[in-house]
Protein backbone atom coordinates (compact mmCIF):
# COMPACT_ATOMS: atom_id res chain seq x y z
CA UNK A 1 0.00 0.00 0.00
CA UNK A 2 1.06 3.58 -0.41
CA UNK A 3 1.46 6.17 2.31
CA UNK A 4 3.06 9.58 2.49
CA UNK A 5 6.14 9.77 4.70
CA UNK A 6 7.62 13.22 5.30
CA UNK A 7 5.88 14.50 2.19
CA UNK A 8 6.98 11.68 -0.15
CA UNK A 9 4.73 8.88 -1.43
CA UNK A 10 6.13 5.49 -0.50
CA UNK A 11 5.05 1.88 -0.84
CA UNK A 12 5.23 -0.10 2.39
CA UNK A 13 4.16 -3.54 3.62
CA UNK A 14 0.59 -4.00 4.84
CA UNK A 15 0.00 -4.35 8.56
CA UNK A 16 3.00 -2.40 9.82
CA UNK A 17 2.63 -0.55 13.10
CA UNK A 18 4.18 2.88 13.58
CA UNK A 19 6.90 1.17 15.65
CA UNK A 20 7.43 -1.32 12.83
CA UNK A 21 7.66 1.47 10.30
CA UNK A 22 10.21 3.32 12.44
CA UNK A 23 12.28 0.13 12.59
CA UNK A 24 11.97 -0.36 8.83
CA UNK A 25 13.15 3.21 8.32
CA UNK A 26 16.23 2.49 10.47
CA UNK A 27 15.24 4.98 13.13
CA UNK A 28 17.35 3.48 15.91
CA UNK A 29 16.12 5.80 18.66
CA UNK A 30 12.34 5.98 18.36
CA UNK A 31 12.29 7.93 21.65
CA UNK A 32 13.90 10.76 19.75
CA UNK A 33 11.24 11.13 17.10
CA UNK A 34 7.78 12.63 17.29
CA UNK A 35 5.21 11.20 14.92
CA UNK A 36 2.41 13.16 13.34
CA UNK A 37 -0.29 10.97 11.81
CA UNK A 38 -2.80 12.66 9.51
CA UNK A 39 -2.27 16.03 11.14
CA UNK A 40 -2.28 14.96 14.79
CA UNK A 41 0.65 14.18 17.07
CA UNK A 42 0.47 10.51 18.01
CA UNK A 43 0.97 9.50 21.65
CA UNK A 44 4.22 7.59 22.06
CA UNK A 45 2.34 4.81 23.91
CA UNK A 46 0.34 4.21 20.73
CA UNK A 47 3.33 3.60 18.43
CA UNK A 48 3.08 -0.19 18.90
CA UNK A 49 -0.67 -0.51 18.59
CA UNK A 50 -1.31 1.93 15.73
CA UNK A 51 -1.39 0.16 12.38
CA UNK A 52 -0.53 2.18 9.30
CA UNK A 53 -3.37 2.41 6.78
CA UNK A 54 -3.45 3.02 3.03
CA UNK A 55 -3.16 6.75 2.32
CA UNK A 56 -1.89 7.75 5.77
CA UNK A 57 0.09 10.97 5.94
CA UNK A 58 2.97 10.38 8.34
CA UNK A 59 5.58 12.86 9.51
CA UNK A 60 8.65 11.85 11.49
CA UNK A 61 9.78 14.95 13.36
CA UNK A 62 13.20 15.09 14.96
CA UNK A 63 14.66 17.09 17.81
CA UNK A 64 16.98 19.77 16.57
CA UNK A 65 18.97 21.81 19.04
CA UNK A 66 21.75 24.16 18.25
CA UNK A 67 22.16 27.80 17.56
CA UNK A 68 23.94 29.38 20.47
CA UNK A 69 27.40 27.89 20.90
CA UNK B 1 6.73 60.57 13.46
CA UNK B 2 9.70 59.65 11.30
CA UNK B 3 12.41 62.27 10.86
CA UNK B 4 14.13 62.93 7.52
CA UNK B 5 17.07 60.73 8.31
CA UNK B 6 14.77 57.85 9.31
CA UNK B 7 12.74 58.27 6.14
CA UNK B 8 15.93 57.80 4.17
CA UNK B 9 17.39 55.02 6.34
CA UNK B 10 14.21 52.95 6.23
CA UNK B 11 13.12 53.93 2.70
CA UNK B 12 13.22 50.32 1.42
CA UNK B 13 10.79 49.33 4.15
CA UNK B 14 8.64 52.39 3.71
CA UNK B 15 8.15 51.81 -0.03
CA UNK B 16 6.86 48.31 0.70
CA UNK B 17 3.13 48.84 0.53
CA UNK B 18 2.49 46.34 3.33
CA UNK B 19 4.80 48.23 5.69
CA UNK B 20 4.94 51.91 4.75
CA UNK B 21 5.62 54.68 7.26
CA UNK B 22 3.09 53.28 9.71
CA UNK B 23 4.70 49.84 9.70
CA UNK B 24 8.14 51.35 10.15
CA UNK B 25 6.87 53.28 13.17
CA UNK B 26 5.59 50.01 14.61
CA UNK B 27 9.05 48.52 14.14
CA UNK B 28 10.65 51.56 15.81
CA UNK B 29 8.30 51.12 18.75
CA UNK B 30 8.86 47.36 18.87
CA UNK B 31 10.70 45.50 21.60
CA UNK B 32 12.30 42.13 20.87
CA UNK B 33 14.18 39.91 23.32
CA UNK B 34 16.80 37.58 21.86
CA UNK B 35 17.84 34.72 24.13
CA UNK B 36 21.21 33.38 23.01
CA UNK B 37 23.62 35.60 21.07
CA UNK B 38 25.14 32.80 19.01
CA UNK B 39 24.52 31.28 15.60
CA UNK B 40 20.82 32.18 15.47
CA UNK B 41 20.78 35.25 17.69
CA UNK B 42 23.66 36.92 15.85
CA UNK B 43 22.05 37.20 12.40
CA UNK B 44 18.65 37.88 13.98
CA UNK B 45 20.12 40.77 15.98
CA UNK B 46 21.91 42.24 12.96
CA UNK B 47 18.74 42.34 10.85
CA UNK B 48 16.48 43.53 13.64
CA UNK B 49 18.96 46.31 14.44
CA UNK B 50 19.19 47.32 10.79
CA UNK B 51 15.39 47.26 10.57
CA UNK B 52 15.19 49.76 13.41
CA UNK B 53 13.53 47.66 16.13
CA UNK B 54 13.30 50.22 18.94
CA UNK B 55 14.52 48.03 21.80
CA UNK B 56 16.55 44.85 21.60
CA UNK B 57 17.16 42.78 24.72
CA UNK B 58 20.11 40.40 24.54
CA UNK B 59 20.50 37.48 26.95
CA UNK B 60 23.65 35.35 26.96
CA UNK B 61 25.98 34.28 29.74
CA UNK B 62 28.86 33.29 27.46
CA UNK B 63 31.99 34.92 26.13
CA UNK B 64 33.05 34.83 22.48
CA UNK B 65 35.14 31.80 21.57
CA UNK B 66 37.29 31.47 18.46
CA UNK B 67 35.14 28.53 17.30
CA UNK B 68 32.04 30.76 17.37
CA UNK B 69 33.27 33.04 14.58
CA UNK B 70 32.54 30.48 11.82
CA UNK B 71 28.84 31.41 12.08
CA UNK B 72 28.13 33.94 14.85
CA UNK B 73 28.50 36.87 12.51
CA UNK B 74 27.90 39.66 15.01
CA UNK B 75 31.18 38.80 16.78
CA UNK B 76 34.56 39.66 15.23
CA UNK B 77 38.04 38.24 15.80
CA UNK B 78 39.10 40.93 18.32
CA UNK B 79 35.99 40.07 20.38
CA UNK B 80 37.30 36.64 21.44
CA UNK B 81 37.07 36.47 25.24
CA UNK B 82 34.52 39.30 25.55
CA UNK B 83 30.94 38.75 26.77
CA UNK B 84 28.78 38.03 23.73
CA UNK B 85 26.16 40.54 24.78
CA UNK B 86 28.79 43.32 24.98
CA UNK B 87 30.24 42.43 21.61
CA UNK B 88 26.76 42.39 20.07
CA UNK B 89 25.71 45.65 21.69
CA UNK B 90 28.72 47.42 20.21
CA UNK B 91 27.94 46.24 16.65
CA UNK B 92 24.27 47.13 16.97
CA UNK B 93 25.18 50.68 18.04
CA UNK B 94 27.32 51.02 14.92
CA UNK B 95 24.65 49.63 12.61
CA UNK B 96 21.85 51.75 13.96
CA UNK B 97 21.95 54.33 16.75
CA UNK B 98 18.11 54.34 16.78
CA UNK B 99 18.15 51.01 18.62
CA UNK B 100 18.20 50.85 22.41
CA UNK B 101 20.00 47.73 23.64
CA UNK B 102 19.51 46.07 27.02
CA UNK B 103 22.15 43.46 27.82
CA UNK B 104 21.84 40.58 30.27
CA UNK B 105 25.11 38.70 30.71
CA UNK B 106 23.41 35.72 32.28
CA UNK B 107 21.62 32.47 31.50
CA UNK B 108 17.83 32.61 31.39
CA UNK B 109 16.58 30.43 34.25
CA UNK B 110 13.21 29.41 35.61
CA UNK B 111 13.55 32.12 38.25
CA UNK B 112 14.50 34.95 35.92
CA UNK B 113 12.97 34.29 32.52
CA UNK B 114 9.48 35.70 33.09
CA UNK B 115 10.98 38.91 34.43
CA UNK B 116 13.43 39.10 31.51
CA UNK B 117 10.58 38.75 29.01
CA UNK B 118 7.99 40.98 30.57
CA UNK B 119 8.78 44.25 28.77
CA UNK B 120 9.09 42.69 25.31
CA UNK B 121 6.61 42.20 22.47
CA UNK B 122 8.28 39.19 20.88
CA UNK B 123 10.93 36.67 21.94
CA UNK B 124 13.50 34.89 19.77
CA UNK B 125 14.85 31.54 20.96
CA UNK B 126 18.44 31.46 19.80
CA UNK B 127 19.61 28.93 22.37
CA UNK B 128 21.52 25.74 21.68
CA UNK B 129 20.19 23.29 24.22
CA UNK B 130 16.90 21.58 24.98
CA UNK B 131 16.57 22.61 28.63
CA UNK B 132 16.64 26.25 27.50
CA UNK B 133 14.34 25.64 24.54
CA UNK B 134 11.71 23.98 26.72
CA UNK B 135 12.09 26.66 29.38
CA UNK B 136 11.54 29.43 26.80
CA UNK B 137 8.52 27.62 25.38
CA UNK B 138 6.92 27.07 28.76
CA UNK B 139 7.64 30.62 29.89
CA UNK B 140 6.13 32.07 26.71
CA UNK B 141 3.02 29.90 26.99
CA UNK B 142 2.55 30.75 30.68
CA UNK B 143 3.30 34.47 30.24
CA UNK B 144 1.31 34.59 26.97
CA UNK B 145 4.22 35.88 24.90
CA UNK B 146 4.69 35.20 21.18
CA UNK B 147 8.04 33.71 20.22
CA UNK B 148 10.04 32.12 17.46
CA UNK B 149 11.62 28.72 18.05
CA UNK B 150 14.66 27.73 16.03
CA UNK B 151 16.89 24.67 15.92
CA UNK B 152 19.79 23.79 13.64
CA UNK B 153 22.04 20.78 13.27
CA UNK B 154 24.56 19.80 10.61
CA UNK B 155 22.76 20.82 7.36
CA UNK B 156 19.25 21.01 8.80
CA UNK B 157 17.09 23.61 10.41
CA UNK B 158 13.57 23.87 11.77
CA UNK B 159 11.47 26.70 13.11
CA UNK B 160 7.99 27.49 14.34
CA UNK B 161 6.29 30.56 15.73
CA UNK B 162 4.09 30.38 18.79
CA UNK B 163 1.45 32.95 19.60
CA UNK B 164 -0.86 32.70 22.62
CA UNK B 165 -3.51 30.03 22.15
CA UNK B 166 -1.79 28.38 19.19
CA UNK B 167 0.32 25.25 18.98
CA UNK B 168 3.58 25.30 20.97
CA UNK B 169 6.89 23.44 20.81
CA UNK B 170 5.74 20.94 23.45
CA UNK B 171 2.69 20.09 21.34
CA UNK B 172 5.18 18.39 18.99
CA UNK B 173 8.03 17.52 21.33
CA UNK B 174 6.50 16.45 24.60
CA UNK B 175 9.57 16.72 26.84
CA UNK B 176 13.32 17.30 26.56
CA UNK B 177 15.32 14.36 25.21
CA UNK B 178 17.66 12.65 27.69
CA UNK B 179 20.98 14.49 28.01
CA UNK B 180 23.33 13.59 25.14
CA UNK B 181 20.67 11.65 23.22
CA UNK B 182 20.60 14.36 20.58
CA UNK B 183 23.93 15.79 19.51
CA UNK B 184 24.42 19.55 19.70
CA UNK B 185 26.21 21.63 17.11
CA UNK B 186 29.39 21.49 19.16
CA UNK B 187 29.30 17.68 18.97
CA UNK B 188 27.93 17.13 15.48
CA UNK B 189 28.85 20.33 13.66
CA UNK B 190 26.78 22.75 11.66
CA UNK B 191 27.22 24.52 8.34
CA UNK B 192 27.65 28.16 9.34
CA UNK B 193 25.34 29.58 6.71
CA UNK B 194 22.47 27.44 8.05
CA UNK B 195 22.54 29.53 11.20
CA UNK B 196 22.17 32.63 9.04
CA UNK B 197 19.28 31.11 7.08
CA UNK B 198 17.36 30.24 10.21
CA UNK B 199 18.26 33.29 12.30
CA UNK B 200 17.10 35.61 9.53
CA UNK B 201 13.82 33.65 9.24
CA UNK B 202 13.32 34.26 12.94
CA UNK B 203 14.07 37.97 12.45
CA UNK B 204 11.52 38.08 9.62
CA UNK B 205 8.88 36.50 11.88
CA UNK B 206 9.59 39.13 14.55
CA UNK B 207 9.20 41.95 12.00
CA UNK B 208 6.00 40.38 10.64
CA UNK B 209 4.64 40.15 14.16
CA UNK B 210 5.47 43.79 14.94
CA UNK B 211 3.95 45.08 11.71
CA UNK B 212 1.09 42.59 11.42
CA UNK B 213 2.12 41.78 7.86
CA UNK B 214 1.40 38.35 6.38
CA UNK B 215 0.86 35.03 8.10
CA UNK B 216 3.16 33.90 10.87
CA UNK B 217 4.59 30.40 11.04
CA UNK B 218 2.01 29.45 13.65
CA UNK B 219 0.54 25.93 13.70
CA UNK B 220 3.27 24.93 11.29
CA UNK B 221 6.76 23.56 11.52
CA UNK B 222 9.14 24.65 8.78
CA UNK B 223 11.90 22.14 8.15
CA UNK B 224 14.73 22.52 5.71
CA UNK B 225 17.75 20.58 4.60
CA UNK B 226 20.44 22.61 2.91
CA UNK B 227 22.14 19.66 1.22
CA UNK B 228 19.43 19.61 -1.41
CA UNK B 229 17.84 22.95 -0.44
CA UNK B 230 14.58 21.17 0.33
CA UNK B 231 12.07 23.20 2.34
CA UNK B 232 8.93 21.73 3.82
CA UNK B 233 6.18 23.15 5.97
CA UNK B 234 4.34 20.60 8.10
CA UNK B 235 0.86 21.64 9.19
CA UNK B 236 0.22 21.13 12.88
CA UNK B 237 -2.30 22.04 15.47
CA UNK B 238 -2.47 22.56 19.18
CA UNK B 239 -2.27 19.21 20.94
CA UNK B 240 -5.04 18.96 23.57
CA UNK B 241 -2.73 16.62 25.53
CA UNK B 242 0.17 19.10 25.50
CA UNK B 243 1.60 19.29 29.04
CA UNK B 244 1.83 23.08 28.99
CA UNK B 245 -0.78 24.45 26.57
CA UNK B 246 -3.20 21.49 26.48
CA UNK B 247 -6.63 21.21 28.02
CA UNK B 248 -5.31 19.89 31.33
CA UNK B 249 -1.80 21.26 31.64
CA UNK B 250 0.54 19.55 34.10
CA UNK B 251 3.17 22.27 33.81
CA UNK B 252 1.90 25.40 35.52
CA UNK B 253 5.15 26.73 36.88
CA UNK B 254 8.65 26.80 35.52
CA UNK B 255 11.53 24.58 36.45
CA UNK B 256 15.09 24.27 35.23
CA UNK B 257 15.87 21.11 33.31
CA UNK B 258 19.21 19.46 33.52
CA UNK B 259 21.72 21.26 31.36
CA UNK B 260 22.74 18.75 28.73
CA UNK B 261 25.68 20.90 27.77
CA UNK B 262 27.52 20.18 31.03
CA UNK B 263 28.57 16.85 29.59
CA UNK B 264 30.26 18.62 26.69
CA UNK B 265 32.56 20.68 28.80
CA UNK B 266 35.23 18.10 29.39
ZN1 LIG C 1 1.53 22.99 23.46
Q: How far is B176 from chain A (nearest CA, A)?
A: 9
Give the DSSP letter of residue A3. E
**What digits encode the pLDDT tens for the residues B6-64?**
999 999 999 999 999 999 999 999 999 999 999 999 999 999 999 999 999 999 999 99
**What digits encode the pLDDT tens for the residues B100-155?**
999 999 999 999 999 999 999 999 999 988 999 999 999 999 999 999 999 998 99
**Whole-number Å distance between alpha carbons of B143 and B126:** 19
Say which of A36, A63, A67 has its CB closest to residue B40: A67
- pLDDT for A66: 62
- pLDDT for A32: 80
What number is the average pLDDT over the span B81-110? 97
pTM summary value? 0.93
Q: Chain A residues with CB inside 8 Å of B173's CB? A: 34, 61, 63
**What digits encode the pLDDT tens for the residues A9-56?**
999 999 999 999 999 988 877 778 899 999 999 999 999 999 999 999
Find all residues with CB under 8 Å of B132, minimum gap 6, and list them.
A68, B35, B36, B107, B108, B125
- pLDDT for B263: 38
What spacing in Å lies between the alpha carbon of B138 and ligand 1's midpoint? 9
**Whole-number Å distance between alpha carbons of B194 and B241:** 33
Residue-range domain boundaries for chain A: 2-62
CATH of span B4-235 = 3.40.50.720
Does the beta-carbon distance from A69 to B158 stay under 8 Å? no
Q: Chain A residues with CB inside 8 Å of B157's CB? A: 64
- Tell me the pLDDT of chain B averaged across its residues: 94
Q: Chain A residues with CB inside 8 Å of B156's CB? A: 64
- pLDDT for B259: 54
Residue B191: pLDDT over 60: yes
- pLDDT for A64: 82
Testing the interface with B: which of A28, A57, A66 to mutate, by most B Cβ within 10 A?
Answer: A66
Q: What is the sign of the dihedral through the CA atoms of B225, B57, B4 and B211? A: positive
**Whole-number Å distance between alpha carbons of B77 and B66:** 7
- Given CB atoms, is A39 within the 8 Å cutoff of chain B? yes
Nearest of B88, B68, B34, B63 to residue B190 by alpha carbon: B68
CATH of span A2-62 = 3.10.20.30
- pLDDT for A30: 76
Amino acid sequence: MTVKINGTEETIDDGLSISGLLKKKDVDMPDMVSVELNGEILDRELFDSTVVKQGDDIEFLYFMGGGQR
Amino acid sequence: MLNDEQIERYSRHIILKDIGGTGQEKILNGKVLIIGMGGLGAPAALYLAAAGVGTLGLVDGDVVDLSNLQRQVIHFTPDVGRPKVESAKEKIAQINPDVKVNTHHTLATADTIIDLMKDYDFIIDGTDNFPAKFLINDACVIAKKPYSHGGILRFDGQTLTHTPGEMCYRCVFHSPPPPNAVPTCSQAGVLGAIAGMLGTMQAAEALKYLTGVGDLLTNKLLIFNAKNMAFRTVKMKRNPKCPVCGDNPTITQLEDYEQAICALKK
